[in-house]
Structure 1
């Protein structure tokens, strides 16, 4: 008798865990909005601003704020370690492309205070490299729902250090419900997955040519360049029940093509443009319509 009760409890716990997991996947995959008391809801692809909105310098707190103000669901930003082991928001390994004075040195060789006193310039605007902590605060300040998609810039040697440092910031700011994390490096993904198996942790893939596209079995999502997206990749994502987001830069016609093909969202330079594109592909779902599933809508 006791064994039977224990088995039933185990089955109940596993069933509840599966329901929670499906809910998380659906929430990440699309934006959902209830439609009053009609029993229907609206879903639409995620609008992700690449390196923040392009009206401000890339990866700056200004770009993050503008992304939230112009309707993005997430601002994608790049995160790497400085000499103090502090996660900072900067795409390149070297500072030269954005340094106002042309100083071209590795970010990893600069202490936090040195990096933040280095003047960067883009779009005729001077700015300073923010820490991840400052980026999170910027997202929290702009509204109550803007998320951050963190692209971890690291090799295998520093993967553990970076994931630990990023994890600490996210936990201290109580931001885990508004963050997605991705990396090209599989060791970084594995380290973060071990630290936080319940977080949304994905793979950034941009294969050259047309090789078979692969991602970790437990990936929460996949991000790849839109011009590399094809039906075979979409079918693979559908089979694995993994959301896939297409990076399209400023080519929003390409973004539309990717959404029609089955992508679950787009990364683009302009928050306003990806927001408008997402709105155009909104779908109203009704529970009594045969063949429709809220977790995998067909964009029209």
Structure 2
């Protein structure tokens, strides 16, 4: 069986609240090869780790992340929404997939700068909004990019030429054997997101995907180890 990268989606959210340092530590302990996390820009220009545009769903505060300073976010969440620099330290043992969910070149530039300052460039790779990924490519010509793709049609050749991704990061239901074969022939690795059922995991492994993003990293790791022993 070819190696499959276990990517922990926002950490280990069934065991600790998503996108927190506790969740990242749990994912590493569960055997993840990489931790995926989401980054947004606070009002003071500091990249912070949170998926949603507001703090409402997880933290009960409806204020937009972009309207709050990093210090205010820390106060409202008892310090549990980390800055990107702290998240990179917590995931130092594995790779880190940074998801940029909004069309913001400023966010991309700030995140690239934070990665460089942390000395984490060799283990970080990027996914998210194509406009943000364009800014990543401009700020770091050597960045490793996983082009997030949510459509049935294949990515435009012009977009592929512009971003030069190493990965095609598909919503898992879009992946077929033809998708994997074509991507491999063109020199891309295929990643799937977000996959929690063992049945779907087994299907994707059988198709030859190179990475699976999951909310259950321990379950995927156990499945892979059983397969390796079979």
Question: Is TM-score (shorter-chain normalized) higher than 0.5?
Answer: yes
Superposed displacement of residue 198, structure 1: 1.9
Superposed displacement of residue 224, structure 1: 1.7
Superposed displacement of residue 236, structure 1: 2.6
Whole-angstrom CA distance in 2 between matches of 1:219 and 1:152: 15
Superposed displacement of residue 223, structure 1: 1.4
- Pairs aligned (count): 225
Which has more radius of gyration?
A: 1
Whole-angstrom CA distance in 2 between matches of 1:241 and 1:278: 24
Matched, 1:71 2:71: no
- Aligned 1:255-274 pairs, distance under 5 A: 255-274=201-220
Superposed displacement of residue 195, structure 1: 2.2
Tell me the TM-score normalized by structure 2: 0.90
* Moved segments of 4+, more than 6 Å: none
- Aligned 1:161-176 pairs, distance under 5 A: 161-176=106-121
Superposed displacement of residue 154, structure 1: 1.7
Residue in structure 1 matching 2:134, options 190, 205, 219: 190
Residue in structure 2 matching 1:113, options 67, 71, 88: 71
Residue in structure 2 matching 1:275, options 215, 221, 225: 221
Residue in structure 2 matching 1:91, options 51, 66, 70: 51
- Look up the match of 2:190: 244
Matched, 1:154 2:102: yes
Residue in structure 1 matching 2:176, options 219, 230, 241: 230
Superposed displacement of residue 248, structure 1: 3.6
Tell me the TM-score normalized by structure 1: 0.70
Superposed displacement of residue 43, structure 1: 5.1
Residue in structure 1 matching 2:5, options 41, 46, 53: 46
- Whether contact under 8 Å (1:248, 1:254) holds in the other structure is no
SS in 2 for 1:263: coil
Superposed displacement of residue 180, structure 1: 1.1
- Whether contact under 8 Å (2:195, 2:212) holds in the other structure is no
Superposed displacement of residue 67, structure 1: 0.8
- Whether contact under 8 Å (2:21, 2:80) holds in the other structure is no
Q: Unpaired segments of 5 or more residues in structure 1?
A: 1-41, 121-126, 284-299
Superposed displacement of residue 194, structure 1: 2.2
- Whether contact under 8 Å (1:226, 1:255) holds in the other structure is no
Cα 1:228–1:104 shift into 2, 3 Å: same
Q: Deviations over 1:131-150 (max 9, x none)?
A: 1011011112xxxx311110
- Whether contact under 8 Å (1:52, 1:76) holds in the other structure is yes
Superposed displacement of residue 281, structure 1: 4.7
